[in-house]
Amino acid sequence: MKNWKKSVYSIYTTIELKNLESNTISGEVITYLEELRVKLAFRMSIMFLCTFSILSYTRYFESMESFSMMAVATIISATCLIIMKLNNRNYLLVFYIYSICGYIIVAFALMVYHSRIHLVDVMWLMTVVFLAFFTLGRKLGYLLLFLSITVIGLFIFLHLNNQILILKELTNYQKISLLIELIAAFSINFYLFYLFLELNRYSERKLIESFDQLKEQNARISIQNDEKTTLVREIHHRVKNNLQIVVSLLRMQSQEVDNPEFRILFQESINRIMAMSLIHQKLYQNNNLSQVKIGDYLDDLVREIISLSINDENVHYQIDVEVDRIGLKTLVPLGLLVNELVSNSLKHAFFEVQDARIEITMKKGKEGWLYLTYFDSGVWKMNSATTSSFGLILIETLVEQLEGTKTVEKESLGTSYSFYLKNLEEMDIFA
């Protein structure tokens, strides 16, 4: 049982190692994203500073409205670049400044400056939303997206018609300036989209590496599990063989004993060892190396005990169980308990009984408890007060080991034992 617990602990440790490796991979992606954001804050500050400085110069000869807006954007870009130079860990502050101040500037231009074309302002709003999504999270991104749609809707319904009436034809200089601004806005949006794809590719590559590592680990674990399963099965097989050797030695020794009572004692010891040997036989024959089908085990055990009985009674037995499997921790005392009950019945209950019958039933109780009922149709006649004293003491000991209770009812038609026993493996699970 200790080996079984060690195996469970080993599996638990393996799962924890997998979780640790998964967390490590997630940590690598987060580190990569943080480094990417730091680089983005530097590069965006330089790009914005160069773009808006050029646009401020071109708009100075066009209109004061456009110039003032570009000048403010240039000052903000220079401020953010200084912040990053002082401490690059302040990149979140830089992104907040760009997102919030950028939205305010563009929204103000849309709602106040009606003498300029606002074609590029929509692209600047897209830049603000993309930047917030990529660097500051979904909540702020969704908020700025909602506010951007709102301000665009207000501009269309409140000011668009009026702007169409007052707009004049653009000069070639104004067209060039507008083209420069469009190219700058488009390039910045494309760069943000490119970084987003790079991050996705990096994450996908890490996930593929993680999946390959897990496949390799699962293959190794599968091989180790097969080796351990074979080893445990071989151990059960050897234990069963060793117990069979002990049984053979006891049988050989019993042949040299002339006293019938001593032979009975030898046979009782053989039956007890056989009950434990049968458990190991069932374990190495089954796929499940920690649990045994209790119905099959009891059927084989009772049949074997009856076949080895020194009495000649023709005893019929019936076994009815609701429980499918029971673990080794509970099965050993339970098997010894049934062995003692059947052996005592064969020794003391079926003299001058025409319908010799044994009935064993097992039902599930609450939270893993077991109801075991044993009935024989015999009339007990004890030869002496000490004949079965050891067997009765052993029954009491086994019931205590299973933390259960026992009641006995003797009637003219037979004797019935009722046991309320704890399934120790189930209690380990509930604990």
Given this model, what pLDDT does residue 210 score?
79
Query: Residue 294: exposed, middle, or buried by beta-carbon count in 10 A (0-12, 13-18, 19+)?
Result: buried
> Do the strands 316-321 and 357-364 form a parallel or antiparallel pair, or are they unpaired?
parallel
Integer Cα distance of 144 and 130 in angstroms: 9
- What superfamily in CATH does domain 290-430 come from? Histidine kinase-like ATPase, C-terminal domain (3.30.565.10)
CB atoms within 10 A of CB 307: 7
**Full-model pTM:** 0.50
Q: How many CA atoms lie within 13 A of 348 on its CB side?
A: 20
The pLDDT of residue 7: 43
Query: Which pLDDT does position 284 carry in this prediction?
Result: 64
Return d(Cα 340, Cα 391) in angstroms, integer.
6
Residue ranges in the chain whose pLDDT is less than 70 = 1-27, 29, 283-290, 310-313, 380-389, 426-431
d(CA 274, CA 247): 7
Buried b (16+ CB within 10 A) or exposed e, 19-51: eeeeeebeeeeeeebeebbbebbbebbebbbeb
Residues 6 or more apart whose CB falls under 8 angstroms from that of 206 comprise 25, 28, 29
The residue extents of the domains of the chain are: 22-213, 290-430
Per-residue model confidence as pLDDT tens digits over 298-330: 888 888 888 777 665 678 888 898 888 888 788
Sign for the CA dihedral angle at 133, 135, 139, 141 comes to negative
- The pLDDT of residue 144: 92
∠260-263-268 over CA atoms, to 5°?
130
Cα–Cα distance list, 275 to 288, 314, 322 (Å): 19, 21, 21
User: Which pLDDT score is estimated for 328?
Assistant: 76
